[in-house]
Amino acid sequence: MKGLPKVLVLGPPLCFSSLQPLYSHKFHFLNSHLSDLSLQHFLQLHHPPSITAILCDAAGYSVTAEVLHLLPSLRLLVTISAGTNHIDLRECRRRGIQVAGAGAIFSEDVADMAVGLLIDGMRKISAADRWLRTQNHHNAPWHLFPLGSKLSGKQVGIIGLGSIGMEVAKRLESFGCIISYNSKHKKTTVSYPFCSSVVELATTCDVLVLCCELNEQTKHIINREVILALGKGGFIVNIGRGGLIDEKELVKCLMEGEIGGAGLDVFENEPRVPQELFEMNNVVLSPHAAALTAESFMNMCELAGGNLEAFFSNKPLITPVMLPE
């Protein structure tokens, strides 16, 4: 370990058990999760000025300005998540700390999950499975199971037309869906109609799919006004971040029948999920698992290791994150 660059591991990231044996001969990983000490006391045992890199993900520690302050020589932060709302990017920019993310490595898997949640919810696949397992013992007539909704031809509004949003659009086009979108900026490279207002988008659509990042501007971008604009037959899919939706209002609107249903991979206060959602047959739930495929996580191990290698070899990062001004 002597002489190897020190990398503080926070969380740990889900792929770390696969990454560590591949790169332990190149980096000295400091596994704070194996210690009962607070992070501050753990770092005191490892000479904080000697630590120049962090490896983390969105499910572990929030890398706040206070955490960064504990590491005066930090120059690199590698996260294995597509989102970066767990990192104080402004402080990283102020300190000159480079940040590497997942890039588009999870985009296809997350898009697959978005479409899966949508099909499941609209065609009531999980609800049908539960119904059959319970009602078949009572010889209930199958025609009593409620009708689902057709996906083909639906107007789908995508909020956030980045790499994931584009993959969702591509998949839903093959189902004959009509795509429009809302994004921070209008995309000159796509022909989909652009709506500058999320309320306007909801008014014209049957489905909203949330693919944008969570920040100060997008927190609760889906509020009661948007949900009511979407309407009683509308369906919401969230594979972005839980805080994009005002969760209390969503639950209330679902209970009141103001919206048709939802497919949720993320929640506002993870790992807590509103108890009311468990009782709803028009809601499909997933434990923030959209990116969790064996293939993507092996690719993420290689990417995270590659970013560490690039930095310590004085080469450009493979997937740098743009830091705010």
By annotation, the residues acting in catalysis are 241, 270, 288
| Number of Cβ within a 10 Å radius of residue 202 | 25
Both structure tokens of 24: 């332990």
136 to each of 93, 111, 144, 145, 284, how far by Cα in Å?
A: 60, 34, 12, 11, 22
Angle, vertex CA 317, rays to CA 312 and CA 319, nearest 5: 145
CB-CB contact of 57 with 33 (8 Å): no
Interatomic CA distance for residues 62 and 157, integer angstroms: 31
SS3 assignment, position 107:
helix
At which residue do the structure tokens 């009511």 appear?
Answer: 228
Going through the chain in order, the beta strands assigned E by DSSP cover 6-9, 28-31, 51-56, 76-79, 98-100, 155-159, 178-182, 207-210, 235-238, 261-264, 283-285
CB-CB contact of 195 with 204 (8 Å): yes
The H or E element that residue 312 is part of is helix 294-312
CB-CB contact of 150 with 207 (8 Å): no
